[in-house]
Amino acid sequence: MFEKLRKSFQSFVESLSTKQLSEEELEEPLQELLFSLVESDVALPVAEELIDRLKKSLVGLKVGRFSDVEDVVKGTLKKTLLDLLRSAEPIDFLGEARKAKENGEVFKVVLVGPNGHGKTLTAAKLAKLLLSNSYTTVLACSDTFRAGAEEQLEEHGRKLGARVVKHRYGADPAAVAFDAVSHAKARGLHAVIVDTAGRLQTDRPLMDEMRKIIRVVTPHLVLFVGDALTGNDALDQAEKFNSAVGINGSILTKLDADAKGGAAVSIIYATKKPILFFGVGQGYDDLIPFSPEWLVERIVAS
């Protein structure tokens, strides 16, 4: 995870050595950092913004006689990254579940995203998280489109001990979601996670279908599930889904297989919506709650 990004920042820090940083001295290392960030899947406008902010904080910075240039540059780098990552208000997933419960509501979450990025497995991971925090949870199979989707979710439900609501293939996905919510209400269950069909952001009828699900369910959270391995593509899709259906935040999957890590930084900055979790494997517990501090500690080595 994040090896490439961490290396980019480390090389930048090591390239600066003088006690007072001038614009000329910074020029080349900043350019290097820019290229290296883009290679690590940080989207160009995001990388440029970061470089710009870094330059503003570093030019003319006088490093005290007894302090280490490396520490000072690292500190500035961390602060700049944190500011960038904090441009989105964080969402506490379990906190939202608790609030819904206190209000006597079923906690409703809809997962959206392109096909294959990890929605179904993430739905199961979220159900596991809720179940282990004593929230009884229903999984709604609103993917009535892809062959095998229902069996896949049912298998997860069986392993987790969560009820799965489904209709026949080809049925209206919004009706499935609605049924799942009614079922939860009728039985006093706490949460519903709606798994939807993977779709391309350009696919209008499917986007309309997604809007219908959201209109019918009125979810507390609509979360975009994006595959970190697809880099800038995940970012592009997150932006498109956000403008098409409106998302509250993202979950970035397959971080365990992604050595670059730039998508995480970009997705927050570009959507101005927080990341709630990182998916880091195929097990139900391979879900890490996200915080800007956690990410910065990993990409700027102490």
Ligand X SMILES: Nc1nc2c(ncn2[C@@H]2O[C@H](COP(=O)(O)OP(=O)(O)OP(=O)(O)O)[C@@H](O)[C@H]2O)c(=O)[nH]1
Residue 120 binds Mg ion, judged by CB under 5 A? yes
Could you give phi then psi for residue 183, rounded to 5 degrees? -60, -45
Residue 196 binds Mg ion, judged by CB under 5 A? no
Q: Restricting to residues 101-160, name those near ligand X by CB under 6 A.
A: 113, 115-121, 143, 146, 149
- Using the minimum distance from each CB to ligand X, give the nearer residue, 36 or 253: 253
Q: How far is the CB of 195 from Mg ion (least distance, A)?
A: 6
Q: Which does 280 bind (CB under 5 to 8 A by kind): Mg ion, ligand X, none?
A: ligand X
Q: Could you tell me the two tokens for 17?
A: 């050595």
Could you give phi then psi for residue 277, rounded to 5 degrees? -145, 160
Q: How far is the CB of 187 from Mg ion (least distance, A)?
A: 25
- Using the minimum distance from each CB to ligand X, give the nearer residue, 90 or 281: 281
From 34-42, 49-57, 119-127, 236-244, span contacting Mg ion (CB under 5 A): 119-127
- Using the minimum distance from each CB to ligand X, give the nearer residue, 72 or 149: 149
Q: How far is the CB of 148 from Mg ion (least distance, A)?
A: 9
Q: Which does 249 bind (CB under 5 to 8 A by kind): ligand X, Mg ion, none?
A: none
- Using the minimum distance from each CB to ligand X, give the nearer residue, 51 or 123: 123
- Nearest-angstrom CA–CA distance, 212 and 35: 42
Site string for ligand X, 232-251 (x = CB under 6 A): --------------------
Q: Which does 254 bind (CB under 5 to 8 A by kind): ligand X, Mg ion, none?
A: ligand X
Tell how strand 275-279 and strand 287-289 pair up: antiparallel
- Nearest-angstrom CA–CA distance, 283 and 124: 10
Q: How far is the CB of 12 from ligand X (least distance, A)?
A: 29
CB 245 within 8 A of CB 231: no
Residue 254 binds ligand X, judged by CB under 6 A? yes
Computed from CA positions of residues 14, 18, 22, 25, in that sequence, does the dihedral angle turn out positive or negative?
negative
Q: Which does 117 bind (CB under 5 to 8 A by kind): ligand X, Mg ion, none?
A: ligand X
Q: How far is the CB of 131 from ligand X (least distance, A)?
A: 18
CB 88 within 8 A of CB 44: no
- Site of interaction with Mg ion (CB under 5 A): 119-120
- Site of interaction with ligand X (CB under 6 A): 113, 115-121, 143, 146, 149, 198, 253-254, 256-257, 279-282, 286
